Amino acid sequence: MPMMYGFGPQRRQMLDAELQRLIDEMPQLGMESMFLIGPFARGEVGPGTALDLVVVQETDEPTHRRADFWTTHLRPRIGINFYVYTRDEFENPPSRDPVLHDAANNGERVYG
């Protein structure tokens, strides 16, 4: 398989641009704060690297439907995983929630 040179910087640029677009647009739609987690937050960029975002937003939607709001309204241009929590869920997380554990210990606050 041929090796691609320069892919990492290009992918990083695409991810950075999409993250900035989201930071600019999401507060108008009710985002209170957002944390970047996962491989990109750790500086790991590969062909399948996506943005993993913990979003704090007041919502009445069930947990499994919350990301749909962001996907529908923002129409991501690159792979994004939205993990949406209310402020209370974020401040008082269940003890075994790996996403919130990652946000608290390794995440980068990018908004709020």
pLDDT digit string, tens, across residues 27-68 = 999 999 999 999 999 999 988 899 999 999 999 999 999 999
Nearest to 84 by CA among 74, 70, 101, 102: 70
pLDDT tens per residue, range 1-29: 444 556 778 889 999 999 999 999 999 99
Instruction: Determine the topology of domain 7-111 in CATH.
Output: Beta Polymerase; domain 2 (3.30.460)
Q: Look at residue 5 in the predicted model and tell me its pLDDT.
A: 57
- pTM of the complete model: 0.90
